[in-house]
């Protein structure tokens, strides 16, 4: 039994969890980076101007990593016949769908309502 079988599930879950974490910020934001003074803070504290602006990207990556590891573990636990039925094309379809959703989320930056 090879651990590498968990990799596609890891990648897909990482991307999905990252986007969810970003979109529902601050619900899934684990920590904040105070960009001006280089300090890390648990959660999403209100940073004074001399410490901020707060950066959450590192936390969203961590959330994605955790979700990826959990999903990879679940994928390893699945029986071979179930795993074999999962289409390998999900590994490119998932990011394509997520990029479309991302474009919709970020549309307001570009003047779209």
Partner 1 sequence: MITFLFICHGLCAIALLGAITHQAAAVWIPVRKGSASFFTRFRAVKAAGYVNAVIVLFLITFIIGSIIYPTYRTGARIYMEDLRMSAPVGAFEVKEHLVSFGLALLPAYWYYWRLPQKPEDNGARKGVVLVLAAIIWAAFLTGHVLNNIKGI
Residues that bind partner 1 (CB under 8 A): 4, 7-8, 10-12, 14-15, 18-19, 22, 33, 35-36, 38, 53, 55, 57-58, 60-61, 64, 68, 88-89, 91-93, 95-96, 98-99, 102-103, 106, 108-111
CA 13: distance to chain centroid? 8
To the nearest whole angstrom, how small is the minimum distance from the Cβ of residue 112 to partner 1?
Answer: 10
Kindly tell me the burial class for residue 39, based on how many C-beta atoms sit within 10 Å of its own C-beta (0-12, 13-18, 19 or more).
exposed
CA distance 36 to 41: 13
- Shortest Å, Cβ 11 to partner 1: 4
Minimum CB separation of residue 43 from partner 1 in Å reads: 19
């Amino acid at each position: 039994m090879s651990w590498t079988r968990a990799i596609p599930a890891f990648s897909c879950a990482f991307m999905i969890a990252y986007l969810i974490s970003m979109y529902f910020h601050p619900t899934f934001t684990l920590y904040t980076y105070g960009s001006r003074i280089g300090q890390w803070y648990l959660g999403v504290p209100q940073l004074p101007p001399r410490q901020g602006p707060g950066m959450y990207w590192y936390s969203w990556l961590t959330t994605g990593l955790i979700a990826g590891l959990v999903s990879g573990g679940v994928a390893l636990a699945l029986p071979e016949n179930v795993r074999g039925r999962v289409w390998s094309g999900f590994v490119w379809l998932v990011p394509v769908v997520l990029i479309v959703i991302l474009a919709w989320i970020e549309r307001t930056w570009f003047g779209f309502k």
